[in-house]
Structure 1
């Protein structure tokens, strides 16, 4: 048998349950909710109740949506490289540096051997 942890505080217990059951919205879901609000068919409060989110959460998503749109329209966006891409580029850079170093050494050897023959 496993021993159950005693409940120290009912408020903490409820917070723990809420934390473990918190819904995670995808970017697409957030965009759809913000777009639904932009259509202005329902009030923000009603929309938040429908999707079971806090109004502050909605307004945060709305602000992020607007800011991302501004950046895109002004051409102020840079593509973020993934860590895998960065690792691959670093490895390729390392190999190229080794190749250049090897070629420089070979060049020096050939140059010195030609100087000896002269």
Structure 2
């Protein structure tokens, strides 16, 4: 039974970056690092799917809202939450008022 090779994240990153170089081909990268093209394609796919997370805003929610110019309690998410609460309260009031009118 053959044992599956384990590669470090740094090694995978280096291979993927090399594979994106304009002056090289996937086949050249395969030969240089001794890898199958399917492995490099899989790593490239993972890189494309998860790469944007590197640039995600890692600040806390309050700091993010401040940098976007929202005052406390005014971000779109907070306003949606408030609208939901008010809608529920409004429905409760309508129902209780309807009971009192009869």
TM-score, with length taken from structure 1: 0.43
Q: Quick check: which has more Rg, 1 or 2?
A: 1
Instruction: Using structure 2 for the length normalisation, give the TM-score.
Output: 0.48
